[in-house]
Structure 1
Amino acid sequence: MKIKSYGKINLSLEVLSKRDDGFHNIDTIMQFVDVYDEVEIESTNSNTIEIVCDEEGFPKDETNLIYKGWDALKVFYDGNPGVRVKVLKNMPIAAGMGGGSSNCACVMEALNKIWKLSFSKEKLQEISKNIGSDVPYFFENKTLRAKGRGFDFYDMIEIEDIPILIINNGCKVSTPYVYSKVELSKEEKMDKLIDSLNRGEIKKEFFFNSMTKVSSEVCPEILDIIKDMYDLNAKVSLMSGSGSTVFGIFGSYSDCNNAYNLLKDKYRYVFNTKAIRREYEG
């Protein structure tokens, strides 16, 4: 079975408070983009999981979220749970696009079919909450507002088919480090952005990411990329998640294409893409 494992961006992200369980309460807007890893899954007689990937720095052991998803599901399966998972990485690692979480969710969804477990989306999400805060979103298929740890979802206006440029120069940012240093928001701003989006507006003054200050101290290029985006007519440019990926929303595909052509050789990862409603294959 071959699957497209789509990435996401955080259209905005607000860190509100520290939780008693050690995590943080956030308020964010999660958006699928047409950038994906390619995942191939086949059953084996090995009774275990083999993870194959040529990307440097990609873990292939029990620290990989794919392994954790397989491990969480196999207890519900009476047969031989042996599988081989091959990942062709397109998304950068540890970059704020949820690549690892997406890989995990799509493998869990595939195993749900292969093993005929017949679990609902909600059941898979419940199982995945203990694997990673981003994982439950990747069982969804549209723009959603997320609160709490990041998996209390709320419907909002769906955003599709708007041109987006995504850039990452390979700098890795530790999410736990950023959370340990981030300044908590003193006012909740997300409602203003959602009201603006409901009016069909894309106005940069309503977009924000609480983590940018800390992450840009680790990777100063984040601010350089944001400036490049605005210099090339982006309507909004912002860091996604804890970074270091930066996205730019453009008013037209011609503007986005122009920015892509001028920046594609300047940075390591440059994706000329768009906002989508995600559909899994398989």
Structure 2
Amino acid sequence: MPTDSDTFCDSELACAKINLALHVRRRLPDGYHDIETIFAFLDCGDVISVGTGQAITLLIDGPFSDGLSNSNNLILDAAHLLASHANVEAGARLHLEKCLPVASGIGGGSADAAATLRLLNRFWETGLSLEALAQLSEPLGADIPACVLNQTCRGEGIGQDLVPLENGALEGHYALLANPLVPVSTAIVFQDWDGVDRGALQDGDLMDAAIAGRNDLQKPAGNLAPIIADILSELGKTEPVMARMSGSGATCFGLYETEQLALAAREDIAAILPDIWTMVGGLK
């Protein structure tokens, strides 16, 4: 934990990401997959802080910090990438408060790297736009550009061809995240996808497209973590606007019209599945 003598002059929220829909269309020769997805972001997640330092360093704590490396981490990769791109010679003392489960399909490390880029862009006064930061981040990971933009958007290609969207009917909704604390490998889940193209995301109203959509990774993730089906079943009983698995799992979400409904659903889920992790947040 940072001590009282530690001073951090700025911080950035690494917002939890959910995929309202995720359609896998085909496998690509390079091992990636052609997808269509709707990214949405919550107003809660991990927190990255920065202070002055002679070198770029990272300290990690928080409820999900165990096992994370402070020397081999996407946060440091993002920091060094920006420093190299902008010819920054200054250091940065970075701190991660890890509040989101690892390997859980809600952004996690991608959101941390993205928040680091936004934070250091201010701290080092490099003056890059969000769009430029998103483009710079592409080599770091498929989800990172969307996490840099940090707003509802449609993603195609490997998820990096982005079109920002107005929230429309999503405005004011809250999400309940529920994770069984079983890490699920993104690579294995994609590998186990059955290869069947079940069609494109529909155009038009964002909420209608999300509800009519699906997550093509839900079945292979459920084969690795059968409790996903139990979580989705219990979420369905709370009468959400929609319930689905996010990303490659194992986090599932229910979407609700008010915070009160989301919090009530959280109590219901916790009573039935007391060992799972939950978080409630508003859609940004």
TM-score (norm 2): 0.87
Identity of aligned residues (%): 26
Q: 1:253 to 1:4 in 2, by over 3 A?
A: closer
After TM superposition, the structure 1 stretch with the greater mean CA deviation from structure 2, 264-273 or 105-114, is: 264-273
Task: Name the SS of the counterpart of 1:59 in structure 2.
Answer: coil
Superposition map of 1:252-271 within 5 A? 252-264=258-270, 266-271=274-279
Q: Which residue of 1 aligns with 2:3?
A: none
User: In the alignment, does 2:245 pair up with 1:239?
Assistant: yes
Specify the code of the residue in structure 2 equivalent to 1:182. Answer: W
For the Cα contact (< 8 Å) 1:202–1:236, is it kept in 2? no
Which residue, out of 177, 184, 198, partners 1:187?
A: 198
CA contact (8 A) 1:65 1:104 kept: yes
Write the distance in 2 (CA, Å) between the matches of 1:40 and 1:32.
20
**Matched pairs, number:** 269
Structure 2 CA distance for aligned equivalents of residues 31 and 138 of structure 1: 9
d(CA) in 1 for partners of 2:156, 2:246: 16
Amino acid at match of 2:35: I
Q: CA deviation at 1:263?
A: 2.1
- Cα distance change on mapping 1:257 and 1:78 into 2, 3 Å: closer
Structure 2 equivalent of residue 110 of structure 1: 119
Shift of 1:83: 1.9
Quote the Cα distance in structure 2 between the aligned partners of 1:201 and 1:181.
Answer: 28
**CA offset at residue 234 of structure 1?**
2.0
1:46-83 deviation per Cα after TM superposition (whole angstroms, max 9, x unaligned): x3423333511222222x11011012122135454422
Asked if 1 retains the 8 angstrom alpha-carbon contact of 2:57 and 2:93, the reply is yes
Other-structure match for 1:138:
147
Q: Answer yes or no: is 1:220 the counterpart of 2:229.
A: no
The unaligned stretches of length 5 or more in structure 1 are 277-282
Structure 1 window deviating more from structure 2 (170-179 vs 247-256): it is 247-256
Equivalent residue for 2:173, pick from 141, 144, 162: 162
For residue 110 of structure 1, give the secondary structure of its aligned residue in structure 2. helix
SS in 1 for 2:140: coil
One-letter identity of the residue aligned with 2:249: G
**More divergent stretch after superposition (49-58 vs 6-15):** 49-58
CA deviations on 1:92-114 (whole Å, 9 max, x unpaired) are 11101102111111111221222
| Superposed displacement of residue 273, structure 1 | 2.1
Residues 252 and 79 of structure 1, relative CA distance in 2, 3 Å threshold? closer
Post-superposition Cα deviations, 1:152-196, rounded to whole Å, max 9, x if no partner, equal 0124441321122110121101101111111234232311xx43x
Q: Secondary structure at the match of 2:263?
A: helix
Secondary structure of the structure 1 residue equivalent to 2:147? helix
Contact 2:138–2:145 (CA under 8 A) maintained in structure 1: yes
Shift of 1:251: 4.4
Give the match for residue 281 of structure 2: 273
Q: Give 1:60's aligned residue.
A: 70
- Tell me, yes or no, if the aligned pair for 1:51 and 1:61 is still in contact at 8 Å: no
Q: Which residue of 1 aligns with 2:182?
A: 171
Aligned partner of 1:165: which letter? L
Give 5+ residue unaligned stretches, structure 2. Answer: 1-9
Higher mean C-alpha deviation, range 153-162 or range 122-131: 153-162
Distance 2:33 2:69 in 1: 26
- The aligned residue for residue 94 of structure 1 is 103
The one of 151, 157, 182 aligned to 2:160: 151
Distance 1:65 1:79 in 2: 18
1:249 maps to which residue? 255
1:50 aligns with 58
Q: Deviations over 1:179-226 (max 9, x none)?
A: 1111234232311xx43x35x65885x131000111011111111000
Tell me, in whole angstroms, the C-alpha distance in 1 between the residues paired with 2:209 and 2:279. 20
